[in-house]
Structures are given as structure tokens and as C-alpha cells.
Structure 1
Amino acid sequence: MNLISNNHLDELDLQILDLLIKDCRTPYLEIARICHVSGGTIHVRMKKMEDLGIIKGSRIILNLPKLGYDVCCFVGIYVDKTSSFNYVFDQMSNIKEVVELHLTTGDYSMFAKVVCANILDLQNVLLNKINNIDGVQRTDTFISLSQPIDRNISLE
């Protein structure tokens, strides 16, 4: 994929993105200093990338176990028919423990990342929330034991 021609990005844009991927709190003036351009140039480039939809905001990364969420799992969801997908998406978006939802190929219709305080909470989410959604035929759950790789993307 050629980001430069497809999205009207040049090498400076890619350099800015790479710096922000490494630390999204880097001040624009620091980025300007590193890139040898003015702070105004960085503001203009950031606005352009936001307008193009390349940058969709910024987010904080939480240490979930320190907040009491000790269980992370992945739930493969079988949806009974294609016409149920939108309803299932809407219902899944109301479950606060679901932090990601992906439409997938393969054995599952959807794959969800779920975080819970403990196994009893996970049981409640599975039995009383996800499996109670009309259109969900059944689920398979995979508990994450650890996350040895947590990689941010890089444009280098």
C-alpha cells in the first residue's frame, strides 16, 4: 500500500505520524523541531490528516489489571443469519466489557475482545449478555493468559 500517493501524504506527513505513534503526547513544537519545520506547518499537516480521516483522534492506553480488570478474553460469535448482524452489532455496543468487535472470515461471524474484573463477571457477560442477544447462535471463548507482545504500528 502506498500511503504517499493514495492519501496525499508525503515524507513529512509520514515522519509526523511516526513520531505521534511512538508518543502521541509529543508537542507540535517538538515535532516541528525534529522535522526541521515550523510549528504552523505541523498544525496544517495535522489538520490535513484529520480531514482525510487518517488521524481519528487520540486515546489513552489504560493498564486494565491496575483498574481491577484481571480477565481478558476473546469471544468467537456465531450469528444465525446475515440479517441479524446489525442488530447484534448494536447490542454488543451496549456491553461495556466488549472493548473491540470485529467482523471476521472463517469459523466466526464476529470476534470480540472482552475485559472483565474476574471469571464470575465473565460468566455473567457470556451467559446473560452476549448469549442472550437475538441472532447469536453460540459463542466460543478464549481466555488470554498474558500479552507478551503489544506492538504499535510503525511507518518506518
Structure 2
Amino acid sequence: MLDEIDIKILDKLQRSGRTKRNDLATEVGLSLPSVSERLKKLEESGIITGYFATVDYKKLGKDITAFIFVTVDSSKHYAAFLDHANHLDDILECHAITGEGSHLLKIRTRNTESLEKLLAKIQAWNGVVSTRTNLVLSTSKETMQVRVGVEK
């Protein structure tokens, strides 16, 4: 169970993953060894799964962001579909969904030509019945931060 100090640590690290342990200790009012032990426990419990840099995809040449709804015909193709999706660099997220389609992919790619090639690749996978692609025109909010609170 998380306490207020764990929540403060998680909040700070979500805003700035490069925060030094001694700065965290000062901010939450604990010793450096105490903060280190808390971080170790948060990592071992799977609450903290990694530390990441936030990048500007456009500056990396990835000008297209899109969401692709994919319909896979049966559960016998499910594992192979996930394996394919998990091994393509342009696919950032893969979700099993309800509603239209069976999966939702978030992709980032260079341009419409690379998007077309990616779609052709996905449509050729065994079990893929259909795809529907929505291009992102602009993004007003994109975050990996989750507000953490103490359950009462």
C-alpha cells in the first residue's frame, strides 16, 4: 500500500524521471538511504517499471501519428497478431478493445508513404480481416503521468 511519501516520490519522478535521489530525499523529508529503499520497493513491486525520456517525435522525423483499428478474425490468431505488433518499431501501443475492431494500435511513422507500407504489412498478417486508420491532425495533451492518490 502506498503512503503519502511514496505518492510524492511517484509524482516527482513522473514529472522528472531524472530527479536525483538526494533531491527526492530533500523534497520528501527523508534520508537518502530511506528514499533509496522506497525506490527499490516501488521497482520490485512493479509500480515503477522504468525511467524514460520524453522525445519530440517530429524532430526525429516521425511526422505521422495515427490510430489503427484492427479486426482479427479469431482468437487462434491472437498470439501471432500480438507478436507481430510487438516487434514493429512504428507501433507504440497495442490494445485489445471492445466496440469496433478487436485491437487499437497507436503508431508513429515518417510520412504517408511509410504509413501505407505499415498498413500493407499489418493487413497481410494472418487473421487480420480489416483495418481502419485515423490520422492525428494535432495533439493538445499527451502524457504518461497518472495521478496517484491514497485510497481511503
Q: Note whether the superposition's TM-score is higher than 0.5.
A: yes
Give the distance between the partners of 2:89 and 2:23, measured in 1 at CA: 37
- How far residue 114 of structure 1 moved from its aligned partner, in angstroms, is 0.9
Greater displacement, 43-52 / 143-152: 143-152
Contact kept, 8 Å, 1:101 with 1:110, in 2: the verdict is: yes
Per-residue CA distance 1:96-119 (angstroms, 9 max, x = gap): 211111111111110001111000
Gaps of 5+ in 2: none
Structure 1 SS opposite 2:65: strand
Which structure 1 segments of 5+ residues have no match?
Answer: 1-7
- Which of 30, 45, 51 pairs up with 2:23? 30
CA contact (8 A) 1:102 1:111 kept: yes
Number of the residue aligned with 2:114: 121
1:148 to 135, 140, 143: 140
Q: Does 1:90 align with 2:47?
A: no
TM-score w.r.t. structure 2 length? Answer: 0.93
Secondary structure in structure 2 of the residue aligned to 1:24: coil
Identity of matched residues, %: 30
Match of 1:3 in 2: none
**For 1:131, which of 123, 140, 143 is the aligned residue?**
123
**Structure-to-structure mapping, 1:1-156, within 5 angstroms:** 8-127=1-120, 129-151=121-143, 152-155=145-148
Determine if contact 1:97/1:115 at 8 Å carries over to the other structure.
yes
Report how far residue 74 of structure 1 moved. Answer: 0.3
TM-score normalised by the chain length of structure 1: 0.91
SS at match of 2:46: coil
* Alpha carbons 1:21, 1:154 under 8 Å: kept: no
Equivalenced residue count is 148
Residue 90 of structure 1 aligns to a residue whose secondary structure is helix
Q: CA deviation at 1:122?
A: 0.3
Q: Which amino acid aligns with 1:80?
A: D
